[in-house]
Chain A
Amino acid sequence: MATADSSSTALRRRDLCSRGIRLAGKMRTDVVNLLDAYVEQQGLDASASVAAVEGVPLAAVERWDEQTGTQRLLENLAAYRAFRALLAQMLEEQREQLGEADAGLGRALAAVLLQVSAFAYHLEELLRLESRGIPVEEGDGLPPPPRLSLFEQKLRGLGVLRELSQWATRSVRDLRQLAKPSPATDLAESP
């Protein structure tokens, strides 16, 4: 019975990893496309330097290959929860600024937001499979974001999308790593 359960869990895990990988890949593609549309629509320079977005863990990390699976999942979940909030805020700001003038950009932002939400759901499911508690989302407890100027909002949005594309790339690698055999070892090593 235990064997059957573990087998079923393994299949579910593999399926979630596979689906997550493809979702991350598609998300990356969509974000890249959205970045181009965003830069053009907002009148920004694609090569403009943007400071790190506050509240979002950096995708780039040292000793990435030494991370455990759970560690990867938790970092990913934290990042995508942050992205979900940021993208929702961007979408609201977008609607305030442009109304229905550029519905295409708004639809693309909404689509990416959905993908981020979906990916966060994938991560949560994977954590559940690994019998790990899901950290409580702290969004409601956070102080409201500072009021930014319109240009700052645009720059922040550019930074969010750039960081999201990087995280999408990293997430694909993380999930592939998770999908590799003997994940139990990794999980056992996790704190």
Chain B
Amino acid sequence: MFSMWNWVAFGFYLVLNICSPDASGGLVQSCGHIIPESPVLALGSNFTALCILNESCLDFGNIYANQIIWKIKNKLVPKEQYREINKTVSSVTFNDTSSLATPLTCNILADGQIEQNIYGITVTVGLAPEKPKNLSCIVHQVSRFTYVMTCTWDPGRHTFLDTQFRLRYSWPEEIFPDCIPKDVNNSCTITDIQFFVNTEIWVEATNALGKAESDPVVVDPIDIVKPLSPQNVSVSSGLLPTVLKLSWENWISDAVMTLKFNIRYRIVGDTNWMEVPSEDTASPRTSFSVQGLRPYTEYVFSIRCMKEDGMGYWSDWSEEKIGITTEDQPSKGPPLWRIIDKSHSPASWTVHLIWKALKPFEANGVILQYEVTVRDKSSLSSPVKNYNVTSTNHTLQLPEGTYEVTLIARNSIGASPPSVLLIPASNSKAPVKNLRTIPKHDKLWVGWTAPNNYVLKYVIEWCLVSSNSDCIIEWQIALGDVQGIDLKGIKPFKCYLITVYPLYADGQGSGQSVKAYLKQDRPSKGPTVQTKKVGKAEAVLTWNHLTVEEQNGFIRNYTILYKTIDGNETVVTVDPSKTEYTLSSLTSDTLYTVRMMASTDNGSRTGPDFTFTTQKFGKGEIEDIVVPVCLAFLLIVLLGVLFCFNKRDLIKKHIWPIVPDPSKSNIAQWSPQVPAKHNLNSKDQMYSEGSFTDVSVVEIEADDKKSFSEQDLKPFDLLKKEKSTSEGHSSGIGGSSCMSSPRQSVSDSDEGETTQNTSSTVQYSTVVLNGYRDQTPVQVFSRSESTQPLLDSEERPEDHAGGADSTAQRQQYFRQNGGQDEFNTDRPCFERTKQNTHGNEGDLVGFVQLQISGQSSQPLGLGMEKNTQEAALSNVLQTCTEGQTVRPETVEENPLSVDEMPKSYLPQTVRQGGYMPQ
């Protein structure tokens, strides 16, 4: 308890001791202090600090040096760096000051618990200044009498401390004020510089860690002067057209410094400067005449100066001044050439004389006019023609011949030497040889081998080849002793046609041409390929040449690349002159993809893909197959025909059995006078008298699969013999049963209004009354308007009246083919009626009409009747081919029973108690 109070009191004492004002007016003495006080340390050096405790603190609180702890910016310094020198002094040592920071504090750890600060110092770490290096000075002239000297140096490494630099200079017996740089540490400007005395100049760098001086520079400031450039420069033209006089003023008097000069000049618009030889301007002066200039040319001049002996620096170049030389007569005649147009008439030429305007240095002034003289060399008597032209071309109409054209350019001073061009009647002289081109950067060099004869000069024509415009000719003249020139203004990737003509003293050689590119590129597009013809194993490809604009170079070859969908690509190289190629060895009936690539020296470009499919059969293969087959077929047919022809009687017997003509039968002699009692009003309405005059229906059943030839006649015999047995199956309307042969019936008319000649008309009718399986039989009947008299049994009216009620009658059906009823009694089989081929067309018409009328909607009563007839008739039209029974669709699709009510129109359906057409 006591201890705790003791420590509290101690802490309070410490605070008071540190913070309380002293009686003397300052702070009370602290419990200790650090030596050294706020040191400036060299970076990387070692450092030791001592913390010394006051004796007063020892007395009160038993504070000793072993309780001292050191801190750098609140970070504890390792105790390994402490050393207790005595009971009041503790030291701390840092081997490298770079680990130091501010503040460094000395603290007491009282009883190992309470930490109390005793003292703190600020530590500054930095570097001593390095020796300034590379000191150099220059004296700038700022006005006529004012010079300032600026010295620069390398201050060396950064010191991290406040470092002062001073530029110092002195004479042997005089020391001048230091020049202290402002805001910078590497340069200073001295304003009161004096010439002609060697001055020692050096730089001194100073900071808390030391001082360093540069090596001194001893120099007379006059030797490092950069003077002001000459002023008031003027240019004046002299008497000569090649001289301009340049005048100026110097800023420095000769008493101070004598000067030498540099004069430079260039033609206006040119970027290259020329200089007057330095030895010509190495002495003091204020003017100079520049010679060797071009007449009538604008020049820009500029001048600079420096100390005559070469010490010091050149001044800046003066402002530029422009002067122009006076005119002189043209130095040469204009280059002359011609283009001869013989298209109108070979005997009459249109000669376009063209010449180039003289270059400024050739014209030496303003060309006022050109004088053209044309002399006919082939006719000495012809007068010389003169033309004054202001443009650079002139067109003449001349007869074919040899002419000498002379051209002179004239300016205000005089005329040029004449340019002469000989226009021969024909270019029969030797041409140049080995014409070739070589690209050289942005120029195209054209070279040739000279002919054996002496050539005065060469004319080189060139033009840009275009597919959509004419070749605009440019030209140039080369002297006769050269064998190559550079063409300028040539565009890359463009095709040029270059022609060289040699000009002789007595004529002109024929032109030699070559196409050339300054620079080639790959084509801008590839050729578009397509097929011209596709076969089984080959395909003919065609394409168009690329236009000259698209080529971008010489097309060296075309490459055809083709492949199947899953196959490897095949490559074929084609000569660039071709536009067609045949691919062979292709697989038949295969899809191929083909594309084409055009190549120049600098690359290739591929065109679009094109697909085609080879044919399955080659040319003539189909013919090879089809023709023999057809021939074989024809042969078979022919043989068949011949066979049939030979066997025609037999065939006829099978196909067209001999049908007995009832009219020729004995019964035909009988003339029935009994009118038909059938109610056939509707039929009568439908078939007028004229339409059905003679209808014969013969139905032949071939179920027995036997030849008809023999059996055809049997039913008729049976009919006669077994007439009575068949009566039970006959219908009421003159129909005959299936067992019966076509039976004779007499068509009747209740009203007796028919005008039919019953004696000559035999009506056949077929009535089928049979159910399909267990269904209600469909009552079908058909009738024939044969005038053949009905059998007696058919005339009975009870048969008609009771037909509707009799089940037996309902199951009856009318058949022509007898002998088959045993098999067909339970099914509504109605074999196809074989019409007699002799039946007239009116019969068919009648059938058709009947069928059509049955499709029309009519009132129920009449409709029922008509539909019944229609069903019967449609059944008649059903066929049973080769003895097979074909069931009528109407019956099959509408299998009716007694209990079933048809949901659709079924005219054949007859219900008990319903109306039964008679």
Interface residues of A (CB under 8 A from B): 19-20, 22-23, 25-26, 28-30, 33, 107, 110-111, 114-115, 117-118, 121-122
Q: Which residues of B contact A114 (CB under 8 A)?
A: 174, 192, 194
B257 proximity list for chain A (CB < 8 A): 22
Assembled-state Cα–Cα distance A28/B196 (Å): 13
Cα separation A181 to B172 with both chains bound (whole Å): 28
Are A23 and B196 also in contact (CB < 8 A) when A28-B255, A29-B256, A33-B145 are? yes
**B173 to A117, Cβ gap below 8 A?**
yes
Q: How far is A114 from B195 in the complex, measured between Cα atoms in Å?
A: 10
6 A–B contacts from the bound complex (CB under 8 Å): A22-B255, A111-B192, A114-B194, A115-B194, A121-B172, A121-B173
B363 contacts the other chain (CB 8 A): no
B171 is an interface residue with CB less than 8 A from chain A: yes
A19-B220, A33-B145 known; A26-B173 Cβ under 8 A: no
8 tightest A-B CB contacts, nearest first: A23-B196, A118-B197, A25-B255, A29-B255, A114-B194, A26-B256, A19-B196, A22-B196
Interface size band for B: 10 to 19
Q: A26-B256, A29-B253, A33-B145 are in contact. Are A118 and B222 (CB under 8 A)?
A: no
Known A111-B194, A121-B173, A121-B174; further 15 A-B contacts with Cβ < 8 A:
A19-B196, A19-B220, A20-B196, A22-B195, A22-B257, A26-B196, A28-B255, A107-B192, A111-B192, A114-B174, A115-B196, A117-B173, A118-B171, A118-B194, A118-B197
**Bound complex: CA A181 to CA B314 (Å):** 33
Q: Which residues of A contact B222 (CB under 8 A)?
A: 22
Cross-chain pair count, CB within 8 angstroms: 50
Instruction: Return the chain A residue nearest B309 by Cβ.
Output: A18
Supposing A117-B173, A117-B174, A121-B172 touch, asked if A26 and B195 sit within 8 A by C-beta, the answer is yes
Nearest B residue to A29 by beta-carbon distance?
B255
**How far is A20 from B196 in the complex, measured between Cα atoms in Å?**
7
Check if A23 sits within 8 Å of B197, measured CB to CB.
Answer: yes
CB distance from A20 to the nearest CB of B (A): 7
Closest to B195 in A: A26
Least CB distance from B754 to A in Å reads: 163
- CB-CB under 8 A from B173, the residues of chain A are 117, 121
Chain A residues with CB below 8 A from B256, complex form: 22, 25-26, 29
Interface residues of B in 240-257 (CB under 8 A from A): 253, 255-257
Residues of B within 8 A of A20 (CB): 196
A84 to chain B, nearest CB (A): 11
Contacts of B171 in A (CB 8 A): 117-118, 121
User: Chain B's nearest CB lies how many Å from the CB of A126?
Assistant: 13
In the assembly, what is the distance between CA of A19 and CA of B145, in Å? 19
From A22, A29, A110, A121, contact of B192 by CB (8 A): A110
Name which of A110, A118, A121 has the most chain B CB atoms within 10 A of its CB.
A118
Q: Which chain A residue lies CB-closest to B198? A: A19
Least Cβ–Cβ distance between A137 and chain B, in angstroms = 11
Q: Which of B112-126 contact A (CB under 8 A)?
A: none
Contact with A along B146-187 (1 / 0, CB 8 A): 000000000000000000000000011110000000000000
Give the distance to chain A from B772, nearest Cβ to Cβ, in Å.
Answer: 149
Q: Once bound together, how far apart are the Cα atoms of A115 and B174, in whole Å?
A: 11
Task: Provide the residues of chain B in CB contact with A33, threshold 8 Å.
Answer: 145
B residues adjacent to A (C-beta < 8 A):
145, 171-174, 192, 194-198, 220, 222, 253, 255-257
In Å, the complex CA distance between A102 and B475 comes to: 76
Contact check, B253 vs A23: say whether CB atoms are below 8 A apart.
no
What residues on A are CB-neighbors of B145 within 8 Å? 30, 33
- Taking CB atoms, residues of chain B closer than 8 Å to A115 are 194, 196
Name the distance in Å between A41's Cβ and chain B's nearest Cβ: 16
Report B-chain residues with C-beta under 8 Å of the C-beta of A23. Answer: 195-197
Of all chain B residues, which has the CB nearest A117?
Answer: B174
Task: Report B-chain residues with C-beta under 8 Å of the C-beta of A107.
Answer: 192
Are A19 and B192 closer than 8 Å at their CB atoms?
no
CB distance from A103 to the nearest CB of B (A): 12
A29–B253 alpha-carbon span in the complex (Å): 9
Give the docked Cα–Cα distance between A118 and B197 (Å): 6
Give the distance in Å from the alpha carbon of A22 to the alpha carbon of B196 in the complex.
Answer: 7
**Which of B145, B220, B255, B257: most chain A CB closer than 10 A?**
B255
Q: Which of B174, B192, B198, B255 contacts A26 (CB 8 A)?
A: B255
Bound Cα distance from A44 to B224, whole angstroms: 38
| A75→B538 CA distance, assembly (Å) | 122
What residues on B are CB-neighbors of A111 within 8 Å?
Answer: 192, 194
Instruction: State in angstroms the CA–CA spacing of A22 and B195 once bound together.
Output: 9
Q: Which residue of B lies closest to A107 (CB)?
A: B192
**Nearest B residue to A28, CB-CB:** B255
CB distance from A24 to the nearest CB of B (A): 8
Closest Cβ–Cβ distance, residue A106 to chain B (whole Å): 11
The smallest C-beta distance from A43 to any residue of chain B, in angstroms, reads 23
What is the bound-complex CA distance between A121 and B196, given in angstroms? 11
**In the complex, A85 Cα to B152 Cα: how many Å?**
35
Whole-angstrom distance between the alpha carbons of A118 and B220 in the complex?
11
Min CB–CB distance A55 → chain B (angstroms): 21
When distances are taken between beta carbons in the complex, the residues of chain B under 8 Å from A121 are 171-174, 197
Tell me, rounded to whole Å, the shortest Cβ–Cβ distance linking B252 to chain A: 10
Please, which residues of chain B bring their CB within 8 A of the CB of A122?
Answer: 196-197
- CB nearest neighbor in A for B197: A118
How many whole Å from A34's CB to the nearest CB in chain B? 10
A25 to B197, CA, bound (A): 13
Tell me the nearest residue of chain B to A125, going by C-beta: B172
Q: A118, B196: Cβ atoms under 8 Å?
A: yes
With a cutoff of 8 Å between Cβ atoms, the chain A residues found around residue B198 in the complex are 19
**Nearest CB in chain B: distance from A102 CB, A:** 16
Give bound CA distance, A72 to B4, whole Å: 100
- A20 and B173 CA atoms in complex are apart in Å by 16
Q: Smallest CB–CB gap between B706 and chain A, Å?
A: 161
Interface centre among A29, A30, A114, A122 (most CB of B within 10 A): A114
Chain A residues whose C-beta falls within 8 Å of the C-beta of B192 in the assembled complex: 107, 110-111, 114
Contacts of A22 in B (CB 8 A): 195-196, 222, 255-257
CA distance A121 to B222 in the complex (A): 17
For residue A28, which residues in chain B have a CB less than 8 angstroms away from its CB? 255
**B796 vs chain A, min Cβ distance (A):** 172
* Nearest Cβ on chain A to B144's Cβ, whole angstroms: 10
Q: List chain B residues, Cβ under 8 A from A19.
A: 196-198, 220
Complex Cα–Cα for A33 and B145 (A): 10
B891 to chain A, nearest CB (A): 147
CB distance from B22 to the nearest CB of A (A): 50
How far apart sit A122 and B196, CA to CA, in the bound complex (Å)?
9
| Chain B minimum-CB-distance residue to A24 | B196
Docked complex Cα distance between A115 and B197 (Å): 8
Q: B197: shortest Cβ distance to chain A, in Å?
A: 4
User: Chain A residue with minimal CB distance to B196?
Assistant: A23
A118–B171 alpha-carbon span in the complex (Å): 8
Closest chain-A Cβ to B309's Cβ sits at a distance in Å of 10
Interface centre among A22, A28, A29, A117 (most CB of B within 10 A): A22
* Bound Cα distance A107, B193 (Å): 11
**B647 to chain A: closest CB distance in Å?**
154
Residues of B within 8 A of A25 (CB): 255-256
Bound together, the chains give a CA A111 to CA B197 distance in angstroms of: 13
Q: How far is the CA of A107 from the CA of B171 in the complex (A)?
A: 19
A75 CB → nearest B CB, Å: 20
From B172, B173, B194, B220, residue with most partner A Cβ within 10 Å: B194
Bound together, the chains give a CA A64 to CA B198 distance in angstroms of: 29
Q: In the complex, what residues of B have CB within 8 A of residue A110's CB?
A: 192
Q: How far is the CA of A118 from the CA of B195 in the complex (A)?
A: 9
Beta-carbon nearest neighbor of A172 in chain B: B255
Q: What separation, in Å, do the CA atoms of A23 and B171 have in the docked complex?
A: 14
Report the bound CA distance from A110 to B198 in whole Å: 18
CA distance A121 to B194 in the complex (A): 13
Per the bound structure, the CA–CA distance linking A121 and B173 in Å amounts to: 7
Assembled-state Cα–Cα distance A33/B255 (Å): 13
A19 to B256, CA, bound (A): 11
Closest-CB distance, A87 to chain B (whole angstroms):
14
| Contact residues in B for A117 (Cβ distance below 8 Å) | 171, 173-174
What is the bound-complex CA distance between A6 and B257, given in angstroms? 29
